[in-house]
Amino acid sequence: MVKGLLKALKRRGRDLLTICPRCGSPTIDQLNPLGGWLTPPIYVCKKCGYTGPILLEVDKVSDAEVGEQEGENP
């Protein structure tokens, strides 16, 4: 329990990108602006039309980091 809390706190400072779980597009809108207050938020993907409460959060990676991961020197 404490370990999960610490991981969540560590993640707060990272720059995350929210993407569609179906097509991977970052063009997501929240269907109801009051969602998340009384009911779970529902999201809609502009690209594929996915509608649902689940999104993916991935780390934003800069071009320099991609080069380092591939073994290139920026």
From the number of C-beta atoms within 10 Å of its C-beta (0-12, 13-18, 19+), residue 22 rates as middle
Task: List the domain range (segments joined by +) for residue 42.
Answer: 16-69
CB 56 within 8 A of CB 28: no
pLDDT tens, position by position, 50-62: 999 999 988 887 5
10 located within any domain: no
pLDDT tens, position by position, 34-44: 777 788 899 99
45 located within any domain: yes
The total domain count for the chain is 1
Which pTM does this prediction carry? 0.61
- Coil/strand/helix, residue 24: coil
Pairing label, strands 43-45, 51-52: antiparallel
23 located within any domain: yes
1 located within any domain: no
Average of per-residue pLDDT across 4-17 = 67
2 located within any domain: no
pLDDT at res. 22? 96
4 located within any domain: no
CB 25 within 8 A of CB 19: yes
9 located within any domain: no
